[in-house]
Amino acid sequence: MQTNMRGMDMITTQEWTKDQIDTIMEVAMDLKKKRALGIPHAYLRDKVLAMMFFFSSTRTRGSFEAGMAQLGGHPAFIDSRTTQIKHGDTTKEIGDIFGRYFDGIAIREVTWGQGNKYIRGVAEASRAPVLNMQCDIYHPHQILADLMTIIEKKGDPRGKTITVSWAYASSYLKPISVPQSLILLATRFGMNVRLVRPPEFKLMPDIVQQARDNARKHHGSFEIMEDFEAGMAGSDVIYAKSWGPLLVTADPEEGKAITDKYKDWITDERRIAMAAEDAIYMHPLPADRDIEVTSAVLDGPHSVVFDQAENRLHAQKAVMALTMS
């Protein structure tokens, strides 16, 4: 167990050592047990977390607010539209001033080409740790909860095969931050990672290269596939969700036209049966029901999406306790 995380930013798991991530998992499991047994764990009594949202949220806001309160502290929800950011508050002002008011700053800003730069700008100016609640490149807290869920359901992740697949969704061009963070962390834990997507839905080349390097270092594997059903075959973990063709276009209409070419990329009962018999289906939610994944799969015996959503609470509490205490 590592004990040197106080004051660290969590912007991407790639900037944390594997030993530090193992510590997050250990603490998260302990906090989950304490919650189940009703054991108080007010490790952040009198601490305050600023939660800045530039994008709407259900699970992220709920889990961070509940988690901070359960740790004995106070979550301060801040809608960016109610601030003076549009009237002159730069990342320097937000980081320097909020870093003095608060004990931690959590930010969700997923605007393509802007989100990660904004969060890093705040972090550079802040004396308090900055937590990435999702940006255009990374979604670290989601992926920590995903890893926790895989460990709970499948044991040691080393040698297990995970299919990180694109899926069709009609709602909007979703960020690429989930699949990017997932291929980075899964390869660090020795998993055999299949990135499955149509040709227009590539991820950032530097992220893909880091995943390849991780796989080599940690004795897993990484491959890219463009056949949805081949990607399903024999896999232990099916993680199929939509993301936008953002490396091709950020224009919503053009992106929608590209996306609509692949309406058959839906996880249904026939396709989930191609995976390993005891495979689990994962999704960060919200899912476009019966478009991205059928209700029969989302609510079926392979699905662990609600346990996965719960683990957002425990994993985030671990990060907050370790960085803000």
Please say if the pLDDT value at position 22 is more than 90.
Answer: yes
Q: How many CB atoms lie within 10 A of CB 24?
A: 26
Strand partners, 79: 53
pLDDT digits (tens, 9 = 90+) for 143-198: 999 999 999 999 999 999 999 999 999 878 899 999 999 999 999 999 999 999 99
pLDDT digits (tens, 9 = 90+) for 258-270: 999 999 999 999 9
State the greatest distance between any 2 C-alpha atoms of the chain, in Å, as a whole number: 56
Fold assignment, 141-308? Rossmann fold (3.40.50)
| pTM of this structure | 0.96
**Residues contacting residue 225 through CB under 8 Å, at least 6 positions apart:** 194, 195, 196, 231
Domains 13-139+310-324 and 141-308 share a fold: yes
Query: Rounded to an integer, what distance in angstroms lies between the CA atom of residue 270 and that of residue 211?
Result: 30
Helix H or strand E segment including 79: strand 74-79
C-alpha distances (whole Å) from 217 to each of 124, 136, 167, 221 are 30, 26, 29, 10
The whole-number average pLDDT for the span 279-308 is 97
Distance CA 53, CA 50 (A): 10
State the pLDDT at residue 170: 86
Do residues 75 and 51 lie in contact, with contact meaning Cβ atoms separated by under 8 Å? yes
In this model, does residue 97 exceed pLDDT 90? yes
Q: What ranges do the domains of the chain cover?
A: 13-139+310-324, 141-308
- Residue holding tokens 């305050």? 48
pLDDT for residue 95 is more than 90: yes
AA identity, residue 117: K
**pLDDT at position 86 over 80:** no
Q: Among 167, 206, 159, which Cα is nearest to 187's?
A: 159
Report the SS3 class of residue 95: helix
Per-residue pLDDT band at 92 (split at 50, 70, 90): very high
Average pLDDT on 231-242 reads 98
CATH fourth-level superfamily of 13-139+310-324: Aspartate/ornithine carbamoyltransferase (3.40.50.1370)
